[in-house]
Amino acid sequence: MIVGVLREVAAGERRVALVPAGVAALKKAKLDVLVESGAGLSAGLSDTAYRDAGAEIVSKEDIASRSEVVLAVQTPSIELRKGQIAIAVFDPLWAPTAVPVASGATLFSLDLVPRTTRAQAMDVLSSQANLAGYLSVLIGSNELTKILPMMTTAAGTLAPGKALILGAGVAGLQAIATARRLGAVVSAYDIRSVVKEQVESLGARFVELPLDAGDSQTAGGYAKAMDEAFYAKQRQLLGDVLSEMDLVITTAAIPGMKSPILVTKEMAERMVPGSVIVDIAAERGGNCELTQAGQTIVHNGVKICGPINLASQLSTHASQLFSKNVQTFLLNIVKEGALALNLEDPIVSGSLVCKDGEVVHPQVRQRLGLGEVVA
């Protein structure tokens, strides 16, 4: 079986779907690997490194015509054909009409891999969110007009900065850990009270609000979307907490849905001038009402940063983690160098968007207004 690795062409995308170490692992599993020339350059990986790992360096056209399996980070930049298998992040719940169904290819979307113990090594959302949480704190600390750690000098003592992390998922927990390493006094809030122990284990204070969140977590471990009445009460109570903070990192995202507004314009206006909000949910509308995706704005002296595709900025390590996710996923559906799809496997069925040109994923079909799949 021939596996092709594409160079990403989306604006700002610097990652690559498979690194040289992944090539070696696939070769060991009796797969031949083609890599588009220059695919890894933005991640610091040369064509020579891929060649040394056993890959053949080819053109985009060769990838399109020769590959049975196509690997990419975002939607592949080639015209897929019937019979091909494509593995990438298609984001079908957010943009179902952009999925290349008409190609007739079989499409697996890695962002749909279920959050189970067995699937952890294939979970691209978690591996990339981890890096985004780390980088968000560095961005925020760089935008602040003060330092985060306490510092005692001959000229006086500087008090430590106060940071609040909204959302204690993978990105939020990494943001907590990073802010703590930089010396900030860290607080965190999440509607899921079950994460309190994780927050406190990292040395942060868990903010508890008098709200009835009920069953606030999905079976996959994500925070559930709540009704507007809940979010209105939450914003009212969080306003007092935000007003005391120097740095706020917002991370609340719900797969396939617009991000909930956690910080209103009025709440931001209560913050001290010079404070910073870094909204890493900017690509889905943002958790802050004032967020503008891809931009940093200043409102009443408060900076609101809306970075997008944060993991891509750390392209070397982001690619390394993504590649391991892809490699593990691919080896789960290949046996002895040939495709072996087990549709009874929840990892396979949960991530399978299209099979032979037909949308088969129930949620994606629902978003497209299609009925149930006819057996």
Structure confidence at residue 217 as a pLDDT band (50, 70, 90): low
- CA–CA gap between residue 66 and residue 46 (Å, rounded): 22
Residue 234 above 80 pLDDT?
no
pLDDT at res. 230: 72
What rounded mean pLDDT belongs to the chain? 93
Q: What is the mean pLDDT of residues 169-181?
A: 97
Active site residue: 91, 111, 123, 190, which one? Answer: 123
Q: How far apart are CA 296 and CA 276, in angstroms?
A: 10
Q: What is the mean pLDDT of residues 67-81?
A: 97
Identify whether the C-beta of residue 43 lies closer than 8 Å to the C-beta of residue 8. no
Annotated catalytic residue 128: no
Span 34-60, average pLDDT: 98
Told to judge if 227 belongs to the known catalytic residues of this protein, a careful annotator would answer no
- Is position 120 annotated as part of the catalytic site? yes
Does residue 233 carry a pLDDT above 90?
no
Query: Catalytic pick from 46, 59, 65, 120?
Result: 120
Q: Which of 32, 181, 222, 363 is catalytic?
A: 222
Q: Domains plus CATH for the chain?
A: 2-123+315-367 (3.40.50.720), 128-308 (3.40.50.720)
pLDDT for residue 323 is more than 90: yes
Is the torsion defined by CA of 92, 97, 98, 101 positive or negative?
Answer: positive
Instruction: Give the pTM.
Output: 0.92
CB-CB neighbours of 227 under 10 Å: 7
**Confidence check: pLDDT of 215 > 80:** no
C-alpha closest to that of 249 among 281, 219, 215, 293: 281
% the chain with pLDDT above 90: 85
pLDDT at 232 over 80: no
Residue 157, φ and ψ in degrees, nearest 5:
-100, 135
Marked catalytic residue, from 126, 136, 187, 319: 126
CA-to-CA distance for 196 and 189, rounded, in angstroms?
Answer: 9
Q: Tell me the mean pLDDT in the region 65-91.
A: 96
Rounded to whole angstroms, the maximal C-alpha distance in the chain is 77
